[in-house]
């Protein structure tokens, strides 16, 4: 899109890049904030329905759809309290750490073909690593607020997240292995076509490991039933007992956005990313590579697909939260170390063997010719690189020329 600007509007290159960066950051930020608002409202309604209540009804007319906004205003207006004896600097900085972590994770998150803040060829790994950083803020908060409850919550969170990273990593390695790349875009492209190409249905092991991933994801963002960090029945409110106002809302935004992130990651890794269950665009003969506007239309369609899948994932988490009781800390650990990790390991080995035995996956094994299978990632990459823009030109530019324009 930067190329588009450069080419059509003739903006200077540096300005175009800066503009694109700012635009991406703006979009992601708004996505997080808006997503948080929407999900808070949704959670209220879902929990109310599950508990046979109505939930917010009045605010903002029907369905109380402005309820979260009103809450936000209230939080903005609230006074920020800080207990005495707290470590002021850490206390203040902790929420932003969490928020920045989940924000940074969104950088490498693709929303549609080529619609990614920064395309890293280690995208999956990056996202997981940065998600781990979010816990850091929580711990800082728990320690800094000089309260037993907060410290307990922080400790639980630390133990839980650090131990759940192991099976989570294993689950993620499986799609990476199947796709042969850690690039999220490539992984999603590999699943293009009908929904049978999704890695979820690649083989029984991936199907099982998807649910392991769901469990670990829920745990790593410490949602119920793994929300030991804020266990209002035992610890008053866990790590954010002492927080109020805007800082508290930052924690909330970080939590919901990381939920969204994990769900999106699940969508990209297992559910075909922005490829819908039915390849509509291909059926009508369109692709990202074809043309300017049509290409962007196809991408918007993909964006809709991905957001839908991610939202479904978040709703699924809410459903679980309001359905299952909270586990004890030892049960949490047992679940991780005695069940998730071995199962993930076994599934990983199984998937590996399956890939070695029949690389084509179930459909190839059944010999079912599926339209779209023919379209390989190589072509995708080619088409993408053939696309308008100076990238290939820049890449083709010899190094000495680069040095030539460098002032000595």
Find the part of the chain contacting other proteins (CB under 8 A) among 69-77, 293-301, 325-333, 398-406. 398-406
Residues 65 and 391: their CA atoms lie apart, in Å, by 44
Give the range of 33-41, 257-265, 310-318, 399-407 binding other proteins by CB under 8 A: 399-407
Bridge pairing between strands 110-112 and 115-116? antiparallel
CB closer to other proteins, 9 vs 366: 9
Choose between 62 and 403: whose C-beta lies nearer to other proteins: 403
Taking CB under 8 A as the rule, does residue 329 contact other proteins?
no
The contacts of residue 356 (CB under 8 Å, 6+ apart) are: none
Q: How far does CA 79 lie from the centroid of its chain?
A: 32
- Would you say 177 or 364 has its CB closer to other proteins? 177
The pairs formed by 374-380 with CB atoms below 8 angstroms and a separation of 24 or more are 375/192, 375/193, 375/282, 375/287, 377/186, 377/189, 377/190, 380/113, 380/189, 380/192, 380/288, 380/289
Q: How many residues bind other proteins (CB under 8 A)?
A: 43
Maximum pairwise Cα distance, the chain: 73
**368 in contact with other proteins (CB under 8 A):** no
Q: How far is CA 270 from CA 73, 307, 408, in A?
A: 38, 14, 50
- For 260, the enclosing helix (H) or strand (E) is helix 245-270
- Smallest gap from residue 151 Cβ to other proteins (A): 7
Stretch that binds other proteins, among 118-126, 237-245, 327-335, 365-373 (CB under 8 A): 118-126
Single residue of 1, 3, 4, 17 touching other proteins by CB under 8 A: 17
Q: Is the separation of the CB atoms in 317 and 258 below 8 Å?
A: no
Which one of residues 172, 182, 271, 343 is an interface residue with other proteins (CB under 8 A)? 182
Beta strands in 106-260 (DSSP E): 110-112, 115-116
Nearest approach, Cβ of 165 to other proteins (angstroms)?
Answer: 7
304 forms part of the interface with other proteins (CB under 8 A): no
Binding flags for other proteins, 154-173, as an x/- string (CB under 8 A): -x--xx--x--x--------
Residue 278 as a binder of other proteins (CB under 8 A): the answer is no
- Please identify which residue in 78, 119, 373, 375 interacts with other proteins, judged by CB under 8 A: 119
14 touches other proteins (CB under 8 A): yes
User: Whose Cβ is closer to other proteins: residue 12's or residue 277's?
Assistant: 12
Nearer to other proteins, 378 or 407 (CB): 407
Q: What is the per-residue binding string for other proteins in 233-272, x denoting contact by CB under 8 A?
A: ----------------------------------------
From 128, 237, 312, 346, residue interacting with other proteins (rule: CB under 8 A): 128
Nearer to other proteins, 128 or 300 (CB): 128
Q: Rounded to the nearest 5°, which phi and psi values hold at 290?
A: -85, 115
Separation CA 243–CA 384 (nearest Å): 47
Q: Answer yes or no whether residue 120 interacts with other proteins by CB under 8 A.
A: yes
Distance between CA atoms of residues 93 and 98, nearest Å: 9
Q: What is the DSSP letter of 183?
A: -
- Distance (Å, rounded) from C-alpha 23 to C-alpha 273? 23
Binding of residue 15 to other proteins (CB under 8 A): yes
| CA pair distance 197, 282, nearest whole angstrom | 14
Contacts (CB under 8 A) with other proteins, residues 85-104: 87, 89-90, 93
Least distance (Å) from other proteins to the CB of residue 46? Answer: 33
395 lies in the binding site for other proteins (CB under 8 A): yes
33 exposure class (CB count in 10 Å sphere: 0-12, 13-18, 19+): middle
Q: Which of 309, 58, 323 is nearest to 198 (CA)?
A: 309
With binding defined as CB under 8 A, does residue 349 bind other proteins?
A: no
Q: Write out the residues near other proteins by the rule CB under 8 A.
A: 10, 12, 14-15, 17, 87, 89-90, 93, 119-122, 125-126, 128-130, 132-133, 135-136, 139-140, 143-144, 151, 155, 158-159, 162, 165, 181-183, 391, 394-395, 399, 402-403, 406-407
């Amino acid at each position: 899109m930067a190329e588009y600007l450069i080419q059509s509007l003739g903006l200077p290159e540096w300005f175009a890049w800066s503009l694109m960066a700012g635009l991406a950051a703006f979009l992601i930020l708004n996505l997080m904030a808006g997503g948080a608002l929407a999900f808070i409202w949704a959670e209220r309604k879902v929990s109310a329905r599950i508990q046979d209540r109505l939930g917010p009804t009045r605010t903002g007319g029907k369905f109380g759809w402005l309820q979260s906004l009103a809450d936000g205003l209230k939080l903005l207006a609230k006074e920020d309290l800080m207990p005495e004896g707290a470590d002021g600097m850490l206390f203040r900085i902790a929420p932003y750490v969490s928020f920045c972590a989940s924000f940074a994770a969104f950088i490498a998150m693709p929303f549609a073909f080529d619609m990614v803040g920064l395309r890293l060829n280690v995208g999956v790994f990056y996202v997981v690593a940065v998600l781990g950083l979010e816990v850091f803020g929580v711990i800082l908060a728990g320690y800094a607020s000089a309260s037993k409850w907060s410290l307990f919550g922080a400790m639980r969170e630390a133990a839980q997240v650090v131990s759940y990273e192991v099976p989570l990593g294993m689950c993620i390695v499986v799609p990476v292995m199947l796709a042969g790349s850690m690039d999220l875009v490539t992984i999603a492209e590999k699943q293009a076509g009908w929904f049978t190409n999704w890695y979820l249905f690649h083989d029984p092991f991936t199907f099982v490991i998807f649910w392991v991933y769901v469990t670990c994801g829920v745990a790593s963002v410490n949602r119920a039933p793994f929300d030991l960090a804020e266990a209002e029945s035992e610890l008053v409110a866990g790590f954010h007992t002492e927080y109020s106002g805007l800082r508290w809302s930052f924690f909330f935004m970080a939590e919901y956005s990381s939920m969204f992130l994990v769900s999106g990651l699940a969508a990209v890794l297992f559910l075909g990313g922005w490829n819908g269950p039915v390849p509509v665009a291909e059926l009508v003969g369109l692709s990202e590579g074809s043309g300017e506007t049509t290409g962007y239309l196809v991408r918007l369609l993909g964006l809709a697909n991905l957001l839908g899948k991610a939202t479904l994932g978040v709703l699924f988490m809410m459903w679980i939260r309001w359905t299952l009781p909270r586990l004890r800390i030892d049960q949490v650990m047992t679940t991780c170390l005695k069940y998730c990790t071995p199962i993930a390991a076994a599934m990983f080995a199984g998937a590996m063997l399956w890939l070695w035995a029949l690389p084509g996956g179930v459909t190839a094994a059944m010999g079912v010719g599926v339209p779209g299978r023919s379209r390989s990632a190589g072509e995708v990459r080619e088409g993408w690189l053939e696309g308008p823009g100076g990238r290939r030109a820049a890449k083709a530019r010899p190094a000495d020329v680069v040095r030539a324009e460098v002032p000595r």
